[in-house]
């Protein structure tokens, strides 16, 4: 019998900020998206005040100030590092785990049924909080879908104390009846609208529908979800995830760019970040797509959007080759006197070096050569961007607006917290 536990970090971005600023505990807090655009994370106290997810900051700025809400810019370096720490801790409690997102992880607890799973997961929860400072909720079920439902209810229920075990539970039917059909994992907006029109409003209603009707209306994917609700595990644990097919690095600029050199600076750094990523994954790229565009929301300027794909042959993860291809793409897409608001690159056709195309002139792909390795090692040790190709310093005119960003407490030597 399969048993899954879904561990979900509570209000993850807000929790990360509170670790190094304890004064923010039990106070309303929101985190903004790139360029301080809109609300992407809220503490429970901010949710209680009725601040909606995705709220545009410029519209809610005065309300947030009046209600005493702390506003912070997103600090992805900090969140990513703390996520890695949480996932490392979780992996120590079971041989098989799957990192589902930056703040979610599935654990395979099959074979642990001789234990009191609620007590075991309470111990996991306590260890994660003690060792990382991040509070988590845990849902347990015979399938991934049921563990998702259990986790969602564990977050809402004070009685559950952050843990809900629906494995062979007499409360399973009640839990499904309390779960709206649109909250079921895998049921999107279009499907939920159709199901509600047929009188299927809860996860329990969906579980009780016949296989033939589900297959006809929702296809094989929908039938798989129903089987999961019935306790039959159809979605396996991906403890060895498939290689990435693409890697994208893009940014919206704090201020629109009009000159070529500023765009070149941005594209150069994006290429640097992307090539470093695929070297970390042990992959090589067969192409690079470069794209630049104006803001579609600013109707007072000339609209322009252009992208181009440049082939990489032989396939490579060499940072010099990817830089040259990226700038070649920029040269072909750039137009003067345009206010560019966003740009990025997409590395495509990613593949393992052993599977790369070989011919007489290129018997081996350019794979993690010694110069690239040294380049990565130095930047990893002393901070990203310490050494860069072609320029010692790059202008920061294109950097995103982050007026409320906290220090990168765990990823930069000069921003480490000091105990006094």
Structure tokens at 413: 């030597």
Q: What pTM was computed for the model?
A: 0.83
**Catalytic annotation, residues:** 104
For residues 401 and 406, the model is more confident at: 406
Beta bridge partner(s), residue 308: 290
186-233 pLDDT, tens digit each: 898 899 999 999 999 999 999 999 999 999 999 999 999 999 999 999
What per-residue confidence (pLDDT) applies to 359? Answer: 66
Average the pLDDT over each of 29-43, 125-139, 389-403 and give the range with the smallest value: 389-403
Dihedral sign (CA 209, 211, 212, 216): positive
Q: What is the mean pLDDT of residues 268-277?
A: 89
Correct CATH for 1-169 of 2.30.30.30, 3.30.70.270, 3.40.50.2000, 3.40.50.10490:
3.30.70.270
80-100 pLDDT, tens digit each: 999 999 999 999 999 999 999
283-334 pLDDT, tens digit each: 999 999 999 999 888 888 899 999 999 999 888 888 889 999 999 999 999 9
> Residue 38 and residue 30: Cα distance in Å, rounded?
10
DSSP for 46-115, please give it: HHHTTPPTT-BHHHHHHHHHHTT-EEEE--HHHHHHHHHHHHHHHGGG-S-EEEEETTEEEEE-TT-TTS
Average pLDDT, the chain: 89
- Band the pLDDT of 356: cuts 50, 70, 90: confident
User: Is pLDDT at 29 greater than 80 in this prediction?
Assistant: yes
Question: Is 98 in contact with 237 (CB distance < 8 Å)?
Answer: yes
Domain residue spans of the chain: 1-169, 172-241, 247-382
User: Is pLDDT at 61 greater than 80 in this prediction?
Assistant: yes
What per-residue confidence (pLDDT) applies to 392? Answer: 40
Beta bridge partner(s), residue 116: none
Q: What is the mean pLDDT of residues 347-371?
A: 75
- Band the pLDDT of 412: cuts 50, 70, 90: confident
Q: What percentage of residues in the chain have a pLDDT greater than 70?
A: 93
Instruction: Output the CATH code of domain 247-382.
Output: 3.30.1490.100
For residues 144 and 401, the model is more confident at: 144
Average the pLDDT over each of 140-149, 271-280, 283-292 and give the range with the smallest value: 271-280
User: Is pLDDT at 279 greater than 60 in this prediction?
Assistant: yes
Q: What percentage of residues in the chain have a pLDDT greater than 90?
A: 67
Q: What is the mean pLDDT of residues 398-403?
A: 76
The CATH class that applies to domain 172-241 reads: mainly alpha
165-175 pLDDT, tens digit each: 999 899 999 99
Q: Rg of the chain over CA atoms, in angstroms? A: 24
């Amino acid at each position: 019998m399969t048993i899954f536990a879904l561990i979900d970090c509570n209000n993850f971005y807000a929790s990360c900020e509170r670790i190094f600023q304890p004064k923010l505990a039990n106070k309303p807090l929101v985190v903004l998206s790139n360029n301080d655009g809109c609300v992407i994370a809220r503490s429970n106290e901010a949710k209680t005040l009725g601040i909606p997810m995705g709220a545009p900051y410029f519209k809610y700025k005065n309300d947030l100030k009046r209600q005493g809400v702390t506003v912070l810019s997103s600090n992805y370096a900090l969140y990513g590092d703390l996520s890695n720490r949480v996932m490392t801790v979780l992996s120590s409690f079971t041989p098989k785990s799957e990192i589902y997102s930056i703040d979610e992880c599935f654990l395979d607890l099959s074979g642990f049924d001789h234990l009191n799973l609620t007590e075991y997961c309470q111990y996991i929860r306590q260890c994660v909080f003690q060792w990382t400072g991040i509070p988590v909720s845990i849902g347990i079920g015979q399938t991934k879908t049921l563990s998702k439902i259990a986790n969602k209810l564990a977050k809402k229920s004070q009685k559950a104390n952050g843990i809900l075990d629906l494995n062979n539970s007499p409360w399973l039917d009640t839990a499904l009846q309390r779960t709206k059909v649109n909250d079921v994992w895998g049921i999107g907006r279009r499907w939920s609208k159709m199901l509600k029109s047929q009188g299927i409003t809860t996860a329990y209603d969906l579980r009780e529908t016949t296989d033939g009707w589900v297959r006809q209306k929702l296809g094989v994917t929908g039938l798989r979800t129903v089987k999961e609700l019935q306790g039959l595990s159809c979605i396996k644990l991906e403890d060895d995830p498939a290689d990435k097919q693409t890697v994208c690095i893009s940014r919206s600029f704090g201020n629109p760019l009009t000159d070529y050199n500023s765009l070149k600076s941005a594209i150069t750094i994006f290429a640097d970040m992307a090539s470093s990523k695929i070297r970390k994954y042990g992959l090589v790229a067969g192409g690079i797509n470069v794209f630049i565009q104006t803001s579609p929301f600013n109707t007072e300027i000339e609209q322009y959007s252009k992208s181009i794909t440049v082939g990489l042959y032989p396939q490579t993860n060499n940072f010099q080759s990817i830089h040259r291809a990226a700038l070649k793409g920029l040269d072909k897409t750039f137009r003067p006197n345009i206010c560019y608001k966003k740009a990025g690159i997409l590395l495509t056709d990613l593949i393992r070096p052993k599977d790369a195309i070989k011919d007489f002139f290129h018997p081996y792909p350019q794979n993690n050569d010694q110069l690239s390795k040294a380049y990565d090692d130095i930047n990893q040790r002393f901070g990203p961007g310490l050494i860069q190709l072609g320029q010692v310093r790059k202008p920061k005119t294109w950097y995103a607006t982050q007026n409320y960003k906290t220090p990168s407490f765990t990823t930069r030597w000069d921003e480490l917290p000091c105990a006094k």
